[in-house]
Homo-oligomer: A and B are copies of this chain.
Amino acid sequence: MSLKHALLGFLNFSPFTGYDLKKLFDTSMQYFWSATHTQIYRTLNQMHEEGLVRREIVEQTDHPDKKVYTITEEGEQVLRDWLKHHYDLPPIRHRLLVQLSFANLLEDDEIIALLADYGDKLRERLVQYHSDEATALYERARSERERFLWDLTLKNGIATYEAELNWIEQAIEDFKNLQEKEP
């Protein structure tokens, strides 16, 4: 599971509550790993049992009490070991490709609609990746080295989405040519 290690990664910066961590996921990690608050609270409890984090309950008068988690030495070791691990390529689960495999059942305009809509969504996503919000994230980097690494994660998204966009634009064009050839 990577969720555990991603949480350790954040906690290695500074102590956080589950609520803080959820927000960190939704901002800096949203594009390549997501998690619901349910999942985060559950995992933090597990990690506490495993001794990877310490828990401190902070009473508050104006808000509900909060539980602040701090990484332990054991947690740091687990994080370091995990960071070095060489994983296989991530499994792909690409619904559109499954649809295309069987799309011979559809009408021409339905196929084009499927492709065009996907293209629109890719363009929207690319706008997000190029937005100020996205690039603002690595202003908090503590060194050029860290900034470089964070930049890599963004660039990966841009590279793959641009490749898919080229693919889909070519696909639409080729499909239209095929239509003309065989009316």
Contact = CB atoms under 8 A, between A and B. Distances in A.
A149 to B, nearest CB: 5
**Range for the number of chain A residues in contact with chain B:** 35 or more
B94 A90 contact: yes
Nearest to A34: B91
Give the interface SS of chain A, mostly helix, strand, loop or mixed: helix
B149 A160 contact: no
Interface of A: 2, 5-6, 9, 12, 28-29, 31-34, 79-80, 82-106, 110-111, 113-114, 117-118, 121-122, 125, 142-146, 148-150, 152-153, 155-157, 159-160, 162-164, 166-167, 171, 174-175, 178, 182
For the complex of A and B, the 9 pairs showing the least CB-CB separation, nearest first, are A163-B163, A9-B102, A32-B97, A32-B94, A159-B167, A104-B146, A97-B153, A159-B163, A86-B117
Contact of A156 (B152, B156, B167): B167
